[in-house]
Structure 1
Amino acid sequence: MTATVAHPPAGQARRATTAPPAGKPDARYLALRNFALSISVLNIFGYTLLGFEQPWIWPVIAVVIGYAVEIALESLTAWAHRRPPRYLGRGVRGLYEFLLPSHITALAVNMLTYGNDQLLPILFGVVVGVGGKYVLQAPIGGRMRHYMNPSNLGITVTLLCFGSWFSIAPPYQFTEHANTFFRVAVPLIIVTAGTVINGLLTKRVALIVGWLGGFVIQAVIRHFVWDVAVYSALGPMSGVAFVLFTNYMISDPGTTPARPRDQFVFGAGVALVYGVLMVFNVVYTLFFATTIVCGLRGAGWWVAHLARRRRERASTTEAVTA
């Protein structure tokens, strides 16, 4: 449920967005815009019709904090790298596009967590989610890029820090005030919108197939090996929270592979880790599984980078010796 922004190496200036070919719309911008629009509309309907239980002012405060943290950290990074901030130079449109990822992260953290009457943990999650992009980075494709899903990271760290009285949002709030028809219509609308975005813009269909297929397989294995009721193991797939996670969280294009084969492996890997965590009775499993897989992927990029540098140094030494 979040789209993300990569950062260039030190000293290398970069424009806020890469201009698409003439006459062709920017797929990344369209994905960000549609993600932001979808989650904004969902929050509006959630507070007016569906039954969201957090105070209505909280998403507004979360978004403002997300904007402030994004601008402050980008300004600091630009100063350190001696380049102009990425939100300058293109007027209001450039600032609007720059703030779309933090907008998505802030609304996602507020919507998917529940702190009773305590706003501080939610704002903490927003700060961690937005700030993690500037701290947790790895050399990917020749430049430093973040590898942790921002919204998922913010929720995971907040659960670890405030887990004794803080939790994810109760699933019933997404359909609490809806009648029978709308309880069926809500997930169908979310699936349809998510399918359009992931199929046409983010190109993450293979990842979702790997995730859903792996989820079913791990449920069947737990049923036959650990005697878990198969309906209970597959039950989360029928909830709105699972549909949101599948279409808007795990499919984040900025922190998942681009090639279909790698996407499939990533999605299946999250399902595998989910099954292992469930065997050990770990709660909030969806978020922890995604965090672990993203972390392993980032560590893999660092290992590959260090191994490549070691080979280059060895080759240079051999050449000098020769």
Structure 2
Amino acid sequence: MAETKTSPVRHDTKTTTALRRFAISITIFNIVGYTYLGFEQPWLWPFIALATGYTVEIVLEVIGARAEGRAPRFLGAGRRGFVEFLFPAHITSLAVNMLTYVNDRVWVMMFGVTVAIAAKWILRAPVKGRLRHYMNPSNFGIAMILILFPWASIAPPYHFTEHTNAFGDWLIPAIIITAGTMLNAKLTGRMWLILGWLSAFVLQAVVRGLILDTAILGALGMMTSVAFVLFTNYMITDPGTSPSSPASQIAFGAGVATLYGVITGAGIAYGLFFATAGVCLIRGMYLWALHISNKVREQREATTAGGTPGSVPAPVPTGADALAAGPNSHKEAVPA
């Protein structure tokens, strides 16, 4: 049987363009956030986050390239290729720092960035004959911070609009929605996912209100926050860790919303991040189960035909297109 390849694929033109725009967007948002909006972390921290993310990305790429007998992906394409290689790390690093609040313990933030990027090399599943990461990087890094350091928290609600007036409170979400919609509609192709996510989110809010006596308007009011808008347009839609087909996108988005409703209904905070990590994990397990099932079936067919296991190339996993992520990228929620 054909061996599953482990070398990461290069990004296609559309994905590279999406990554570039995400990187530019989150950079501008951080600059505005620190100079005007009211970001709480020290101004030096985003630079520390970037240094950490770049270092981890490059070191792991060098190790992976040596283990796989290939050249590192950041070589051979000049300065532009090197910059494009660092886009995912750039997005992930700024997102983890921007969305978490760890008091003055900068090493916890650095830990989150390291875990987020390292997970791309550890948590992988076979997709179309290649091992691809399935855990949303920045979301996973943030979730691990929240689990391992209970005193840490997400950035406070006023983090994005502390110094804006009433007009600015509406303008910022409007800009994010407009830019995010254009990006997801034209480049990432994740509008079906957003539709499934928003529809199921409204439904779970109503169900919680009817079953758990939760204030329905209050549950729905969360959808008006800047953090929710960022999560919807820039984190859950990560093309590298979400499905491609419309039906699977709807199922993925609805799954995150449903799991969020269960987690929040159980009284657990930060449900958005835990729900996204949970659905990504379920998807990764499904991809492995699908891969193993196809390997066993192919081996049985080869044996029945009188051949030997391994004499027939492994088929492309059936149904992988429905769950396959786009080219290897890390657009974080943010986010990223």
State the distance in 1 between where 2:307 and 2:45 align.
Answer: 64
Alpha-carbon separation, structure 1, partners of 2:301 and 2:175: 56
The one of 196, 200, 203 equivalent to 1:210 is 196
CA distance in 2, matches of 1:16, 1:235: 40
Equivalent in 13, 25, 28 of residue 15 of structure 2: 28
The CA deviation at 1:321 is: 7.9
Are 1:62 and 2:49 an aligned pair? yes
* Residues 138-174 of structure 1: per-residue CA shift (max 9 Å, x gap): 00122110000000000001111112x1001001110
- Following superposition, the deviation at residue 15 of structure 1 comes to 6.7
**1:12-68: per-residue Cα shift (whole Å, max 9, x none)?**
6x77444xxxxxxx2111100110111100000000010001001100110111000
CA distance in 2, matches of 1:321, 1:84: 36
Partner of 1:120: 107
1:133 correspondence with 2:105: no
1:253 aligned counterpart, secondary structure: coil
Shift of 1:118: 1.1
In 2, the alpha carbon distance for the partners of 1:30 and 1:82 equals 28
Which residue is 2:320 aligned to? Answer: none
CA deviation string 1:247-290 (max 9, x = no partner): 00000011001111111111001001011111211110000000
> Which residue of structure 2 lines up, in the alignment, with residue 235 of structure 1?
221
1:81-100 correspondence runs (5 A): 81-100=68-87
Work out whether residues 16 and 94 of structure 1, in 8 Å CA contact, stay in contact via their aligned partners in 2. Answer: no
Structure with greater proportional helix content: 1
Check if 1:313 corresponds to 2:299. Answer: yes
Residue 174 and residue 264 in structure 1: after superposition, are their counterparts in 2 closer, same or farther (change >3 A)?
A: same
TM-score (norm 1): 0.92
1:298 aligns with 2:294: no
Unaligned ranges ≥5, structure 1: 1-7, 19-25
CA–CA distance in structure 1, aligned partners of residues 55 and 256 of structure 2 = 32
Distance 1:312 1:180 in 2: 62
Q: How large is the Cα RMSD of the aligned pairs?
A: 1.4
Q: What one-letter code is carried by the residue in structure 1 that aligns with 2:127?
A: I
- Number of aligned residue pairs: 305
Partner letter of residue 302 of structure 2? T
2:30 is equivalent to residue 43 of structure 1: yes
CA distance in 1, matches of 2:129, 2:68: 17
* Matched residue type, 1:57: L
Q: Aligned pair 1:9/2:5, yes or no?
A: yes
Distance 2:116 2:25 in 1: 19
In structure 2, relative to structure 1, the CA distance for the partners of 1:320 and 1:284 (3 Å cut) is: same
Aligned to 2:259: 273
CA distance in 2, matches of 1:181, 1:64: 36
Stretches of 4+ moved more than 6 A in 1? none
What TM-score, normalized by structure 2, do the two folds share? 0.88
* Equivalent residue letter for 1:45: V
Equivalent positions of 1:154-303 (< 5 A) are: 154-163=141-150, 165-303=151-289
Q: For residues 10 and 304 of structure 2, what CA distance do their matches in structure 1 show?
A: 41
> Partner letter of residue 49 of structure 2?
A
- Match of residue 4 from structure 1: none
The 1-side partners of 2:43 and 2:279 are apart by 33
Distance 1:141 1:29 in 2: 20
Using the TM superposition, give the Cα deviation of residue 303 of structure 1 relative to its aligned residue in structure 2, in angstroms: 0.4
Does the CA contact (< 8 Å) of 1:109 and 1:154 recur in 2? yes
